[in-house]
Amino acid sequence: MKFKDFLLDVFIISCYILFWELMVKGFKIPDRILPPPTAILSAFLSTAHYVLVQSFSTVIVIVSGLVPAIIIGIFLGACISEWKFVRKMLLPLVSSSQVIPKTAIIPLFLAWHLGYSTTSKSIITFLISFYPVLLGTCLGFSRISDDFIFLFKSFGASRLQTLFRLKLPASVPHIVTGIKAAALYSVIGAITSEIFMGGQGIGYVINFSSEKLNMEMTFVGLTIATIIGSLFFAGISIFESTFVKKRWGGS
């Protein structure tokens, strides 16, 4: 992203915030329904240490769910694309697992003696975020020209050599696109698991504050969640523009 584009984004967001502030003050909307941005900022400043501690807990859940999702998503995507028998065995299972609401399996963690721990929240985050990586990997493999595969075979390359020297490198742009989507999904998974499981994290802050009708803190939690998701997405986008697009031309 160019610096001018960044400044434009900041300006647009600032206009939205200003409009929000003026609308709330102009229509005299009660804080218990929609607090103004100045009240939200004041609530954050008065509880900054507490919010940052909870944010750190959420980041731990996100990272511990997203990193395995990336590794396993790429591995399963490569196996499903490369070996037909693996595709027949795993694809129906993986696809059907995405239909199940992830919050519906939360009671199982109690039965499995995992409780409402960070591990349980990380599992929910993993289940939500690994599928885009898998799809991105499969899409990347499907876009590889048969001519390149034939060329590798004509030089006597083995199946594994073709996999690691052609198919995986050529699929990197699509894999990174899947990782960008997974990063956003991982934030959703972490916040959702914290809302249902409680204990700590930004999701817990949002749920607890809304139950107490503390809308300022509820919006603080929502704002922090948005910032965390944006930072993860921006970090991967910077990696993509710095390394991937220069090496693969963004295709």
Q: What's residue 251's pLDDT?
A: 45
Q: Delimit the domains of the chain by residue range.
A: 47-248
Residue 104 — pLDDT band, cuts 50, 70, 90?
Answer: confident
Q: What's residue 114's pLDDT?
A: 74
Average pLDDT over residues 130-151: 92
Q: What's residue 92's pLDDT?
A: 87
Q: What predicted TM-score, i.e. pTM, was given to this entire model? A: 0.89
Q: What's residue 250's pLDDT?
A: 46
CA distance 162 to 242: 26
- pLDDT greater than 70 at residue 3: no
DSSP for 164-200 reads: IIIIHHHHHHHHHHHHHHHHHHHHHHHHHHHHHH-SS
Q: What's residue 16's pLDDT?
A: 94
CA distance 188 to 116: 17
pLDDT digits (tens, 9 = 90+) for 30-73: 988 899 999 999 999 999 999 999 999 999 999 999 999 999 99
* 111 vs 178, higher pLDDT: 178
Q: Are 35 and 219 in contact (CB under 8 A)?
A: yes
Q: What angle do CA 8, 10, 11 make, to 5 degrees?
A: 65
Task: Give the right CATH number for 47-248 from 1.10.3720.10, 3.40.50.300, 3.60.20.10, 1.10.1520.10.
Answer: 1.10.3720.10
- pLDDT greater than 60 at residue 111: yes
CA distance 187 to 138: 23
Q: What's residue 181's pLDDT?
A: 94
CA distance 220 to 210: 11
CA distance 249 to 1: 16
